[in-house]
Chain A
Amino acid sequence: MIEVSHLVKSFGSLVAVDNLSLQIVPGEILGFLGPNGAGKSTTMKILTGYLKPTSGTVKVNGINVEQDPVGVKQLIGYLPEGAPAYEEMTTRRFLTFIAELRGYTGHEIVKRLDRVVDVMSLSSVIDRRIETLSKGFKRRVGIAQAIIHDPKILILDEPTDGLDPNQKHQVRELIRGLSKDKIIIVSTHILEEVTAVCSRAVIISDGKVLEDCEPSTLETRSKYHGAVTLICSCETDFARMRVATKALVADMPPIVDEDAFRLTLFQSESSRPLLLHVTKLLEETGVVAEVVSEKGRLDEVFRSITKSAEVLA
Chain B
Amino acid sequence: MRAINIVMKRELDSYFSTHLAYVFILIFLVLSGVFTFYLGNFYERGQADLLPFFNFHPWLYLFLVPALSMRLWAEELKSGSIELLLTLPVTIVDAVVGKFLAAWIFAGISLMMTFPLWLTVNYLGDPDNGVIFTSYIGSWLMAGSFLAIGSCMSALSKSQVIAFILCGVVCLLFVLAGYPLVLNSIKTWVPLVVVDSVASLSFLNHFNSISRGIISLRDVLYFCSVQVVWLAATVVVINARQSR
Contacts and interface: CB of A to CB of B under 8 A. Distances in A.
Contact of A84 (B84, B89, B91): B84
Contacts of A84: 79-81, 83-84
Interface in B66-100: 79-81, 83-84, 86-91
B90 A101 contact: yes
Q: How large is the interface on A (under 10, 10 to 19, 20 to 34, 35 or more residues)?
A: 20 to 34
B17 interface: yes
A95 B137 CA distance: 36
Contacts of A102: 88-89
Given A86-B10, A89-B17, A97-B10, A73 B242 contact: no
A234 B33 CA distance: 92
Q: How large is the interface on B (under 10, 10 to 19, 20 to 34, 35 or more residues)?
A: 20 to 34
Interface centre among B3, B18, B84, B90 (most CB of A within 10 A): B84
A85 B81 contact: yes
Interface in B216-238: none
Nearest to B80: A84
Contacts of A74: 89
Given A51-B243, A101-B88, A89 B83 contact: no
A51 B242 contact: yes
B102 to A, nearest CB: 13
Interface of B: 2-3, 6-7, 10, 13-14, 17-18, 79-81, 83-84, 86-91, 242-244
8 contacts: A49-B86, A70-B90, A76-B87, A78-B84, A84-B79, A97-B6, A103-B89, A145-B84
For the complex of A and B, the 6 pairs showing the least CB-CB separation, nearest first, are A84-B80, A52-B243, A80-B83, A48-B87, A84-B81, A73-B89
Given A48-B87, A78-B87, A86-B10, 18 more contacts: A50-B86, A70-B89, A73-B89, A80-B80, A80-B83, A82-B80, A84-B81, A84-B83, A86-B14, A86-B81, A87-B79, A88-B17, A88-B18, A89-B14, A89-B17, A98-B88, A103-B89, A145-B84
Interface of A: 11, 45, 48-52, 69-70, 73-74, 76, 78, 80-82, 84-89, 93, 97-98, 100-103, 145
